[in-house]
Every structure is written in structure tokens, then in C-alpha cells.
Amino acid sequence: MRSGYGRSIFEPLLPLILGRDISGEVAAIGGSVRSLRVGQEVFGALHPTAVRGTYADYAILSEDELTTKPSSVTHVEASTIPFAALTAWRALKSTARIARGQRLLVLGGGAVGLAAIQLAVASGCHVTTTCGSQSVERVLAAGAEQAVDYTAEDIELVIKGQFDAVLDTIGAPETERIGINFLKRGGHYMTLQGEAASMADRYGFFLGIPMATALLLKKQIQYRSSHGIEYSWTYMRADSEGLHEIRKLLEAGKLKIPVDKTFPITQVIQAHEAKDKKLILGKVVLEVD
Ligand SMILES: NC(=O)c1ccc[n+]([C@@H]2O[C@H](COP(=O)([O-])OP(=O)(O)OC[C@H]3O[C@@H](n4cnc5c(N)ncnc54)[C@H](OP(=O)(O)O)[C@@H]3O)[C@@H](O)[C@H]2O)c1
């Protein structure tokens, strides 16, 4: 977003505040709020198009975007979870409707990939993941039964059998091709790299969105007839029921996204530079004094 992603939506609304995830204490509530009280420790995430983000001392979220933070985890630990886990939740639970005993292939072992592995394992699924060499231990620790290092191995030779669902967190033409070929008939391919925002950025909102919808429909029809599979672009969405289930898994120690480094919120620039230059592999958390 800082470098222009989503400009067709955000440009007229500038300046905007970045940040989606949050963990902290409720400072005030609106008159209609029933499930939260002042002083309660909560965590959650804003929806993807929010303009007033969480890089702030005080952020405003709706009731369904927050839930109680388990006392067993710190605010820093809790803040890494919601956006990534809700993204994985939407794909696996709402779109693919994964069930016990099914096989899931996760392409990419970053934050969303790690959340997806743990949600699927908690649902009784068997997970295979592709990731870079430095992430292999992490994805195995998260519960993947097989971790394939895409930098050293030929994914198509190493992975055996077919899958009920593929979550592609990379969304490159090559990962799309590989993911689709690994699916059983009736399986679900889901990419996090839907083209709605990028096409709206390129062609303008009113031309880009219908073009993206047409492209999605074309791919859905094409893959249904060629492979018998369901194809979707999947997006994070606020989901209070999902967040509640995510909280239960966090509380039970079944969901964790490791924190690689924290920065004081005054060092946002340094934090972004460290991620851009790939000096830090995993999650970075900004702490408010
Ligand atoms: N649609 C939505 O609503 C939504 C929501 C959240 C995130 N996203 C997008 O989804 C993507 C993933 O998010 P994230 O938070 O999980 O990011 P992340 O933590 O940066 O993870 C990306 C991971 O992918 C791995 N990777 C890169 N190329 C790969 C390949 N060819 N095969 C296998 N693994 C590969 C990287 O591993 P190495 O560094 O080891 O190579 C990295 O660990 C981002 O582009 C993000 O913007 C979309």
C-alpha cells in the first residue's frame, strides 16, 4: 500500500494510516457495543480497505473486528495472528470448507501459510507446504507433514498424490499451474493474489473491476472444464465467528506465528526498510510505548 498497491481505492482518501493487525486495551466504546468493555485486553484486525489503520496510539475498530486476547499470550504475540489467520480462515473454512482427513497443499510458508497449516491441522487435515529453505523447520513445527524447499527441490517430482485444496500464497503463473495440477477433481484452488485491486490500479476503478470480474469468470469456467476444479481469488474479511475460533486455537496453543523482531512505533521507517531489504524473514511487530 505504501508503494501504491490499491491506489485506485486509496488515492482519493489520502492521507491514510497503514496497519491492520492490533492488540491492546479497550480505551472507549460506542453506545451500541455489547460484547466489549473499557479496560478489556483485545486483539483483532481491520478490514483490508480501512483508511484509519493501526499504526497509531488509538485505533477505531468495530465490535466484530475484535475479540478477547487470551491471557496466556502477550500483545506482541497476539498482534501477529488476526489478519493472516482470518485470511487463511476465509479460504479454508468459507471457500474450500476443508474437512477431517482431507489433504491440503499450501504454497508459501509465510504468515498466511503458517496460519493455514495450523488451522488445517486443527481441523484434522494433512498438510504439505512449499517454502524457502529457511522456513522448512517453521512449517514442520507448525504441523505440515511434508515441507518442500522450492529453492532446492523440484516440487512436481517430490510431492506425491493429489489434494482436496490448494492455498497459493504466492499466486505466480508457475505456482498456479503447479497448484491446479495437484488437485483432485472437485478440489479447490485458492490464490491470495486476486487481480481486482491491481487491475483497478492499472485501468481505473470503473474499468478495472469489471475486467477483473470477467478474467475471474473466464478462469473459473476454463479450469472447471479442463480440470474439474473450483478456482477462486480469496481475500481477508472481518468475521467475528472466525476470530472467535482463532482465539480459541491461540488460547489452546494450537496457533502461533513467530515474531522475528519488534520495533518501537516511532521506527516504522526502519521496520519497513528491514522487511523490504529482506533483512528479517518473519513477522515484525510495532510496539506502542
Ligand atoms: N488476499 C488477501 O486478502 C491477502 C491477505 C493477506 C496477505 N495477502 C498477500 O499474500 C501474500 C502472502 O502473505 P504473507 O503475510 O503470508 O507473506 P509473507 O509472510 O511474506 O510470506 C510469503 C512467503 O512465501 C514464500 N515464497 C516466496 N516465493 C515462493 C515460492 N515460489 N514457492 C513457495 N514459497 C514462496 C516466502 O518464503 P522465502 O522467503 O523463504 O522464499 C515467504 O515466506 C502476500 O503477497 C500478501 O500481500 C493477501
Res. 118 pLDDT band, cuts 50 70 90: very high
Strand order in the sheet with 126-131: 146-149, 126-131, 103-107, 163-168, 183-191, 230-233
Q: Which of 131, 136, 151 to mutate to test the pocket of ligand 1 (most atoms within 8 A of CB)?
A: 131
Q: Does 281 have pLDDT greater than 90?
A: no
Phi (first) and psi of residue 150, to 5 degrees: -70, -15
Among 118, 167, 116, 112, smallest CA distance to 141 is for 118
Amino acid at 52: R
User: Is 81 close to ligand 1, i.e. is its CB under 6 Å away?
Assistant: no
Centre of ligand 1 to C-alpha 193, Å, is 10
Report pLDDT for 111.
97
> What average pLDDT does the segment 3-11 reach?
92
Dist CA 5 CA 2 (whole Å) = 7
Interacting residues of 208 by C-beta distance below 8 A, sequence separation 6+: 8, 196, 199, 200, 201, 202
Assess whether the C-beta atom of 50 lies below 6 angstroms from ligand 1.
Answer: no
Share of the chain above pLDDT 70, in %: 100
**What's the whole-number mean pLDDT along residues 150-178?**
97
Percent of the chain clearing pLDDT 90 (strictly above): 98
170 C-alpha to center of ligand 1: Å?
5
- Mutation choice for ligand 1 from 127, 148, 170, CB with most ligand atoms inside 8 A: 170
Distance (Å, rounded) from C-alpha 222 to C-alpha 47? 31
How far is the C-alpha of 168 from the C-alpha of 122, rounded, in Å?
Answer: 20
The whole-angstrom separation of Cα 42 and Cα 63 is: 11
Q: Can you list the domains of the chain with their CATH numbers?
A: 7-81+238-287 (3.90.180.10), 84-233 (3.40.50.720)
Q: Looking at residue 238, what is its pLDDT?
A: 92
Ligand 1, closest atom to CA 172? 31
Q: What is the DSSP string of 143-178?
A: T-SEEEETTTS-HHHH--S-EEEEEESS--HHHHHH
pLDDT band for position 220 (cuts 50, 70, 90): very high
